[in-house]
Chains A and B, each alone.
Chain A
């Protein structure tokens, strides 16, 4: 497929609707193409993109503050730049527009793209941009920690926050209720019985059948985007590694990639190979844990214990070689923090062979155990149309027939040198999501050996140059949950002005609300685990 064969059609359709799109400076957000729109064209541009079947990869608002503005704007006073990312065939397009902070109003993309519902509400809570014709007016990220007319990401909001006291409970959130005879409500969480993150689920059920599930997240909002402001690149990578602890490598890489693109810095080949090594290790560790946990949720403890054991050994090796069980803080701007010694190299080889030998019989059992099949097959089916409408990536999308993978479709170093096998299943049920994970474990193991085979010699890091003020970068990494997008804008002296990481879970959490339809209440835990959205990744 030739690069961007759909862009001209999109532009033509915009023109048909008399929407004016100006080409932006394409180097600034490479590899994405940039289109600037007028604020009033924002909503229609989204509608046209949806009609063309483009995938919406997220929207974020960037309060520019009182600093110097781009020249050709008639906005007075501080402005907010809103950007949205669209994708098809591995080509990314950034739409952007400016609104004044005094009257920040835009058309919503949610009517055309249900997946960006909460992203828009998040932007509204944090920056005050109002999205017109948004079907859901309720707050999302804002609980009670700040008032409704306060916008934490604006320049006038202090980084340390306003209230030092105890945050009141988020009690009056208006959940959608279903009335009817025999319909009852089950509140679950935010504190759960297992060692998992906090999130509230509100079920409307009749008997054991789930009529509706509504999620309420935001309990681990840490103000990531705000405390990123003013950090240096090294500090941002440390922060990025803590957005969602189980994806620490992917987030750190996404932030590093965004900053390196903004600064025009190319990490050495050995560094990118080592980053891929870390990222694939992370993928394997998390998939192993998930496969076991899914089996445990249907009472099949054998697989759980085996997977937990394998994952533990895997993580101990990570701790020995890379200093941390989850491989936190292994990336630095311009490279990686840890090299790989000769002994480490040999140990990894042996590990890979040993894991490969162990998982084959184990995966055989999990793949073809009648008692497990009975629970997993046909449970929690996510239709391909729903997955597409919401923009699901990662194993959730791949299990529903959407085999998008950044590593293959928009390759970044070193994946441009390695064959990336992308598993695809069409059933869309829990079993399919388990099978995708098993295939990804196998593919990543294979890839780890190829990475070691072709591990380039040389430096593991280069000095990171100071980026210019206003430099922007886009990071796009295939984390273990799917595509992680990361936007970075620099202020003066190489400090961060805006950091926005978009977790794939923004789109898979709504998918969970859809796939639970027609299932029974006791099957929810296994459905939830098979999707395994990140709470921290969307609470920010």
Chain B
């Protein structure tokens, strides 16, 4: 593994890290577009999220009088932590030095760091909505994190490594065996992804109703560039989960060597996979209503149960078989 820690590999890692914020708004725009078409609307252009971010960046950032320095620092912390987490996820190629220095557990940790600051910022100004959002976010994440770790451990046990690159490589070299443990882990991780990225049925990213919000309630007091960072961080998180699901469970197409041709194929493949995943998300969001807040624990318990079943089926069916 040490041989991939070369300058060119680091350059590739940097390129990949830059691709995340560059592509994240596009995925959101795509999901919105598909949703609009499913609702018989024309919908805004897929590039609309970029325009919104630019608009926010050029707007004045207003901060409440009661805000502490934490309130101003939080957007940067949340953004950087989410971005760093994204940088450890193989997007185009599995030969990623960042994946070597930071494994899946670091990824989960970075996301947790971002969440802690997001929740703190939500409570900082002292409005009722922010506190409500923070408390709900913590309830959801407290249940989602174990489920996510469990799903991740299932993969790690199969590959005997917590390095995402190795996990994907192991899966690629598996000759496409359909493993029950992967199916369970896939289902579990998908549910976690829906909850963690604030999508229907757990949270509604498009709602205007403060009393029902989770993620949006915490960023209600932000404006201008602060809000732009928070929004971009949320979009990167969605992309991160999308790439995670796409590349771990459907790794075909990802570059295994750093040649331009295979990188181009890897890029095309991930775009295609994300487009399909985004469309599936849009369909799910169209046919489902948001669930009642206190049903969310049941939803996440299901995710935990699925991940646990994945782990068990790995131990029972796959080890030594």
Contacts and interface: CB of A to CB of B under 8 A. Distances in A.
Chains A and B come from one and the same complex: yes
Interface of A: 184-188, 193-194, 208, 295, 297-302, 305-306, 309, 369, 371-372, 374-375, 520-525
Given A193-B208, A194-B208, A525-B211, A299 B201 contact: yes
A186 B132 CA distance: 9
A66 B128 CA distance: 52
B211 A371 contact: no
30 contacts: A184-B128, A186-B128, A186-B211, A188-B211, A193-B208, A193-B209, A194-B208, A208-B294, A295-B289, A297-B212, A298-B290, A299-B200, A299-B204, A299-B289, A299-B290, A301-B286, A302-B38, A305-B41, A371-B288, A371-B289, A371-B291, A374-B289, A374-B295, A375-B290, A375-B292, A520-B293, A521-B132, A522-B212, A525-B211, A525-B212
A196 to B, nearest CB: 10
A193 B209 CA distance: 7
Contacts of B204: 299
Interface of B: 35, 38-41, 128-129, 132, 200-201, 204, 206-212, 285-295
A208 B40 contact: no
Contacts of A297: 209, 212
Contacts of B210: 188, 193
Nearest to A189: B210
A522 B39 contact: no
A521 B217 CA distance: 13
Contacts of A185: 128
A371 B128 contact: no
Most buried by B among A208, A297, A299, A302: A299
Contacts, number: 76
Contacts of B209: 193-194, 297, 525
A377 B38 CA distance: 26
B39 A375 contact: no
Contacts of B41: 305
Given A193-B209, A374-B295, A305 B40 contact: yes
Contact of B292 (A306, A309, A520): A520
Contacts of B286: 301-302
A527 to B, nearest CB: 10
A188 B127 CA distance: 10
A188 B211 CA distance: 9
Contacts of B206: 301
Most buried by A among B132, B289, B292: B289
A164 B207 CA distance: 39
Given A188-B211, A193-B208, A193-B210, A372 B289 contact: yes
Contacts of B207: 299
A371 B287 contact: yes
A299 B209 CA distance: 10
Contacts of B287: 302, 371
Contacts of A302: 38-39, 286-287
B11 to A, nearest CB: 43
